[in-house]
Amino acid sequence: MKYIDRILALQENVIGMNERNYRLINRLNPHKYQRIAKDKSICKKLLGENGIPLPKTFCVIDSVRDIEKQLDSIIHVMDFVVKPAAGSGGKGVLILAKVDNNLWETSEGKFYDRDKLVKHISNILFGKFSSSTFDKAMIEYRVKPHPCFSQIYKAGLSDCRVIVLNGQPVMAMLRMPTDKSLGKANLKTGAIGLGIDLHKGRLTKGYNQATDEMVSRHPDSKVLFEGLLVPYWERVKEISVAVASVFPLNYLGVDLVFDEKLGPLVLDINSRPGMQIQNANATGLKKIINNEIIEEI
């Protein structure tokens, strides 16, 4: 009975998608500002103007006729990331390392010559990887993983999501790639979500969606991560609060990555963060939400 009671208590504290949409997103995040948050290029411009640390943007391409010119402008860059400004879930993202002036290799070992890269960027512009009819392509600095995380799992890039409510961090998790996720920190494709003690900045257990279980070790490398300290943790919280002060959204997810030299950098802002963070932390958000939100709002 004790196990059943614990499960029931956990379920009572969990925020579901419908409740998230009604109590948090619809009531706390004005729709016009949600649209701004969906466009990564606009977000980065606004955050950069307010001193938020970000991966450097080499160029933003919004027209097919500008693709060749912009590629010529970054011909000296040894590696970079191509992404859709309105994309989500890692769709359309290419992580490229230069082989020569007209050939690049992806992080999965595939090759893109200039014609193939131009075609991919064109597909981004035509909205293939987003819900928009037209999109923009962003070419950015390639973040080099911090050794704290690469010692757990070498492939891909882990990221940290901090949920900020009414200007204060209330829950956080680390999303770590796996073999199943093909090096991407996307929970839907097989990455694992590691809980983070919000006050101490230490990793707790992680949730492996593929096996529906809590784990203390990475499923592929078998490295123990539970108890490890997340680097720059106080700085991560400071940055998350600063991001919330820039955007007129009262509920948002701030996604950060950790560069080996530059430290924490804001990668993305999500005005509709998912609820899997509760699984990663093995606790629900409802009690926290009830303490922070007055029902009459």
CATH, range 2-52+145-292:
3.30.470.20
Q: What is the pTM of this model?
A: 0.90
170 residue type, one letter: V
Q: Within a 10 A sphere around the Cβ of 271, how many other Cβ atoms? A: 21
Task: Give the start-end residues of each E strand in 62-116.
Answer: 79-84, 94-100, 103-106, 111-113
Q: How many helices (H) and strands (E) does the chain have?
A: 11, 13
Give the pair of three-digit tokens for residue 170.
């209330």
Please write the tens of the pLDDT for every residue from 238-297: 999 999 999 888 999 999 999 999 999 999 999 899 889 999 999 888 877 776 654 433
pLDDT tens string 181-196: 988 898 988 999 999 9
Mean pLDDT throughout 8-18? Answer: 74
Distance CA 152, CA 34 (A): 35
Residue type, 216: S
Specify which residues 258 forms β-bridges with: 264
- What average pLDDT does the structure give for the chain? 90
Question: In whole angstroms, how far apart are CA 184 and each of 5, 109, 180, 187, 191?
Answer: 36, 14, 9, 9, 7
Torsion of Cα atoms, 269 then 270 then 271 then 276, to 10°: -150
What is the C-alpha separation between 157 and 95, in angstroms, rounded?
Answer: 11
- Mean pLDDT over 107-132 rounds to 93
